[in-house]
Every structure is written in structure tokens, then in C-alpha cells.
Amino acid sequence: MSDRLSRARGAIAEAGLEALLVTNPYNRRYLSGFTGTAGWVLLSAEGAWLATDFRYWEQVGSQAPAFALHKQEGGQSEWLPGFVEALGGQKLGFEAGDMTVAAHKQLRDTIAAMPAPKRPALVQSEGLVERVRAVKDDEELLSLERAVQLGDEAFNAVADRMQPGWSELQVAWEIEKYAREHGAEAMSFATIVGGGAWGAMPHAYPRDVPIEAGKPIVIDMGVIVNGYCSDMTRTIVLGEPDAKFQEIYDIVLSAQETAEATVESGMTGGQAHMIAHNIIAEAGYGDRFGHGLGHGVGLEIHEHPRLGRTSEDVLLDGMVITVEPGIYLPGWGGIRIEDMGVLENGRFRNFTTAPKLRMVGA
């Protein structure tokens, strides 16, 4: 955790702040290691504190030994002044993206009621810790690779058994059942299963509808291991695919593999996106690829950076990203292929091993 705190402190100083009040639960876990569901972190150049309630006092001692425990007792107006009073007069950043209007008002009112010499100056900050989190350390990479591995295993185990007549809901449940029985803490998100024309919706939810032979089936899934997410999409078919499937699949696969081979550190998310988009557009389907090429993954399923047409996020070594182009044709279905990997030595190293074309029973 010491390197994470050092990098976060550098970002705090670069933003012109003396300290940061962290309320985002993922940022709190990243900085402290604390997995409880409630708590605020205060990080300055000199110290690190974690405020939480009675339920978690013992947990803080075991999970966040580098943080001084501040016991939350009573309402916010009772415990918060003592939490921040050592910063009197200094610029205290708060995570604006994590606060509702009501929470922000309560924070400002509590700070305003403090004696002037002990009152910090609240300053809005956005995405400060998230940008630090974007570059993963070795411990995070191990957890992310393990999550991808387990996700691949779950997908392969179920794809090998799928048959026409299984419902989309059954496919989703069998994937989750395998993942949980083999060590997943949870799914990264609700598994997407879209058979036939239903797959034309990029985020189709699984229905109690039987899967048909010869139709594309989009399966988008991920698991959580050690708090870290995986994300993978495969489009399969039960039996023989038709000519349309072969045509669209080949375009998407070419776009995806070209992007993986040519994306590099230093380019923007927008530049990365256009590698795949241009291939799909040249094939005549540019208007049917309406989402971004990918996104960062870590403690959250969607993190910095964003790989999309307008993204100016700069890709850096150590960022874990997805590469997931797709084509979606209303009335017919969709095809999306998604891998997840890390930018390493300037290039993309793929974590995902699940087969990219599987025609079960063909």
C-alpha cells in the first residue's frame, strides 16, 4: 500500500491540495485495503486516517494498519470536525463525483460550523484517485489475471454443454454457478446473454427464452477475484452458422485483432478506438458500431481510461483495458468479441484465452 499512498500523495500535491477526503468506496479500499462498507479516508502528506463506525473498528486494525482509526460516534457534525481539525486553513479536496447534492451540503455545513482556526478550505476534486488507480501494480495484475482465468474457465465449461432449447437465463445461471463454485466472490456484473435478434442490443439482459440453433449468441460476462473484476465477451453459435454470421464475425474479429496488435502506450483512447472503427466502417457497418472500443478494468468493471471516439485519455503502461468492437443489426442479432489485458512495454498483452470462434456441435 505504501507505493499507492505515495502516488496518491503526489497527485494530491499536483492538484494544489494539502489533503484529500476520500468517500468513494473503491478509492477507500485501494488506498487502505479496508473492505468495510462504510468509512472515510483522510490522506495528507504527513498522515493517513480512516473514520468508520463501531461495526468496523476491529477490521480497520487488521486490514488498514497504516491508517490511524478515527471512531465515528454520533452524527457527522459530531465526529467529522475532530477528523479534519488538524488541517485548519489548509486546502482539503473532496470527491465531488461521489457526493449527492444533499451530502455536499451537509459536508459544507459541518465544516462551516467549525471554529475558523480549525476549519479547512474545501476544494472540489474529480477523478484524482481514479487516475492513480488506472496504472496497476503487480499485486493488482495477479488478481486481474486470476479473475480473467476463472472467467474463461466458467465460459468454456458452460459453452461445452450448451444445447438448443437452453434458455438465456439458464446460460447466465450456469456461468455464475460454475464461477461461484470455483472461487469467484461474485460476478463483475449481471451476465449478458443475447440470442438471435435479441443480441442486437449490446447490453441485452437474459430472458426465459430458448436459444435456437444457427443463431448468434452474445455472452458478456466477468467474475470478481480478490476484489478485482474480469470482463470478456464471446459470440458463439450452436450448430452451423449462416453466411451472414461468417461475414459479420470476420469483420469484427479483424477489427478486434488489429486493434490488439496496434494499440500502444502513448496514444489516446480515441486513437485506439478508431483503429477498430475504421475497419468496421470500411466494411460498411460503421453506423452499427455505436459504443466505445473498451475501458479500464480493476476494482470496478468500468474504470479510467476510456477507449472511445472522443476520449483524450492517454494510454500508459500498467493500464488494464478491454478491446471489444461489435456490430449490431436489428432484426438479425449482434456480434461482439472482447478480450482484456494490460499495456506492457508499450503493447497490449492479452489475458483472455477463451476461444474466439466456437461453433458448438458443428
Euclidean distance between CA atoms 340 and 260, whole angstroms: 10
Range 142-172 burial, b when 16+ CB lie within 10 A, else e: ebbbbbbbbbbbbbbbbbeebeeebbbebbb
Distances (CA, A) of 261 to 91, 207, 275: 44, 36, 10
Beta-bridge partner residues of 195: 217
pLDDT at position 359: 43
Q: What grid cell was written down for 76?
A: 457527522
pLDDT at position 303: 98
Q: How confident is the model at residue 30 (pLDDT cuts 50, 70, 90)?
A: very high
> Using one digit for the tens of pLDDT, what is the confidence trace for 232-255?
999 999 998 989 999 999 999 999
> Using one digit for the tens of pLDDT, what is the confidence trace for 1-15?
779 999 999 999 999
pLDDT at position 217: 97
The predicted model gives 174-199 an average pLDDT of 98
Q: What grid cell was written down for 313?
A: 485519455
Does the pLDDT value for residue 120 go beyond 60? yes
Backbone angles phi and psi of 127, in degrees to 5: 70, 15
User: Contacts from 1-5 at CB under 8 Å and sequence distance 24+?
Assistant: 1/31, 1/32, 1/33, 1/66, 2/66, 3/137, 4/30, 4/31, 4/132, 4/137, 5/31, 5/43, 5/48, 5/66
Indicate the residue type of 248.
Answer: I
pLDDT at position 106: 97
- Cis status, amide bond into 305, omega within 30 of 0: yes
Indicate the residue type of 306.
Answer: R
- Closest to 95 measured CA to CA, from 10, 26, 3: 26
pLDDT at position 357: 79
Euclidean distance between CA atoms 129 and 21, whole angstroms: 11
The predicted model gives 31-40 an average pLDDT of 97
Range 64-75 burial, b when 16+ CB lie within 10 A, else e: beebebbebeee
Euclidean distance between CA atoms 352 and 232, whole angstroms: 8
> Using one digit for the tens of pLDDT, what is the confidence trace for 327-344?
999 999 999 999 999 999
DSSP string covering 242-293: -HHHHHHHHHHHHHHHHHHHH-BTTSBHHHHHHHHHHHHHHTT-GGG--S-S
Strand 303-307 relative to strand 121-125: parallel, antiparallel, unpaired?
A: unpaired
Distances (CA, A) of 37 to 55, 258, 301, 313: 10, 41, 18, 30
Please give the span between the terminal C-alpha atoms of the chain, in angstroms, as a whole number. 50
The domains found in the chain, sorted by start residue, are 2-132 (3.40.350.10), 138-360 (3.90.230.10)
pLDDT at position 2: 79
Backbone angles phi and psi of 90, in degrees to 5: -85, 160
The predicted model gives 263-273 an average pLDDT of 98
Indicate the residue type of 139.
Answer: E
Q: What grid cell was written down for 86?
A: 488538524
DSSP state of 112: H
Q: How confident is the model at residue 360 (pLDDT cuts 50, 70, 90)?
A: very low
In the predicted model, what is the mean pLDDT of the chain?
Answer: 96
- Could you tell me if 92 and 21 are in contact, meaning their C-beta atoms sit under 8 angstroms apart? yes
Does the pLDDT value for residue 361 go beyond 50? no
> Using one digit for the tens of pLDDT, what is the confidence trace for 298-313?
999 999 999 999 999 9
Q: What grid cell was written down for 319?
A: 493500464
- In this prediction the pTM is 0.95
Euclidean distance between CA atoms 62 and 52, whole angstroms: 14
